[in-house]
Amino acid sequence: MSNFFTSSIGKKFVMGISGIFLVLFLCIHLLLNSFLLFQDDGRMFNIGAHFMGTNPIIKVVEPILALGFMIHILWGAILTLQNRKARGNDRYASGNKTKNVSWASKNMFILGLTLFTFLAIHLVHFWWKMKFAGSEHLTHITIDIAGVPTRVENAYTLVNYTFSYLWVVILYVAAAILLGLHLSHGVWSGFQTVGFNNRIWLNRLKIIATAFAYIVGFGFSAIAIVQYLFFHNII
């Protein structure tokens, strides 16, 4: 088993599996963030954030997906550095010396490193404040959830305030575009690694991966832009 994880195939397998964790993590958060597009003073987003913070299943699943996300980033960095050190012609993740491949596949490490930097900024903006530091923009309100008055943290106020700054919106849109580029190669490559590598499935997965990358990139971009243009200082 140890030989498998130290082999080229084993290393790619870890990247593929951890990449699937990343995809699931993004799907959950894109769904939650899509509630920011509702013109309801943040009610749906606050309900979603409350559900994410209190549901026992989500409390277990989210850290697991986040761990897979971090493994994907760290493992990708390790593999890239190892390949560069070895100066091989067939470098996994970077692919800078490989012909006839997309720009994204040649620059997966650079994209990943940039996204990791953005992730750190994102955590400071929201997760750290919601979980530990607190913020003057984090208040508590009572809303109706399935007919039951429930006191929840008004996370929408913090999000709305953060997206009132143009530089933050530009940063998030740029990160969303880079994320889309990363996913356009990473998704189908991950499925190929775990076994969907015949000609018919590979072509289909490339189409699915491209569509998914557009949805994620456009989705996160649109949320930030709409918040800035139409919900600016709504609270």
Residue pair 210/21 in contact (Cβ under 8 Å)? The answer is no
- What does the radius of gyration of the chain's CA atoms come to, in whole angstroms? 20
Give dist(CA 1, CA 224) in Å, integer.
45
Residue pair 12/83 in contact (Cβ under 8 Å)? The answer is no
* pLDDT tens by residue, 123-168: 888 888 888 888 998 989 999 998 999 999 999 999 999 999 999 9
pLDDT at 95 over 90: no
Tokens 């998704």, residue located:
187
| Among 3-7, 61-65, 218-222, the range of highest mean pLDDT | 218-222
* pLDDT tens by residue, 188-211: 777 676 666 667 777 788 888 889
Give the per-residue pLDDT at 93.
46
pLDDT range class, residue 49, cuts 50, 70, 90: very high
* pLDDT tens by residue, 26-43: 898 899 999 999 999 999
Specify which residues 144 forms β-bridges with. Answer: 149
Give dist(CA 152, CA 179) in Å, integer.
31
pLDDT at 234 over 90: no
pLDDT at 88 over 60: no
Give dist(CA 196, CA 7) in Å, integer.
20
Neighbours of 176 (CB within 10 A): 22
Angle between helices 108-122 and 166-193 (to 10 degrees): 130
Q: Which domains does the chain have, with CATH numbers?
A: 2-230 (1.20.1300)
Distances, alpha carbon 120 to alpha carbons 91, 103, 109, 123, 128, in Å: 27, 25, 17, 5, 10
Residue pair 140/152 in contact (Cβ under 8 Å)? The answer is yes
* pLDDT tens by residue, 6-18: 666 777 777 778 8
pLDDT at 235 over 50: no
Give dist(CA 77, CA 66) in Å, integer.
17
Residues of the chain with pLDDT > 70, as a percent, come to: 83
Specify which residues 149 forms β-bridges with. Answer: 144
pLDDT at 225 over 90: yes
Handedness of CA 70, 72, 73, 76 (dihedral sign): positive
Write the single-letter amino acid at 49: A
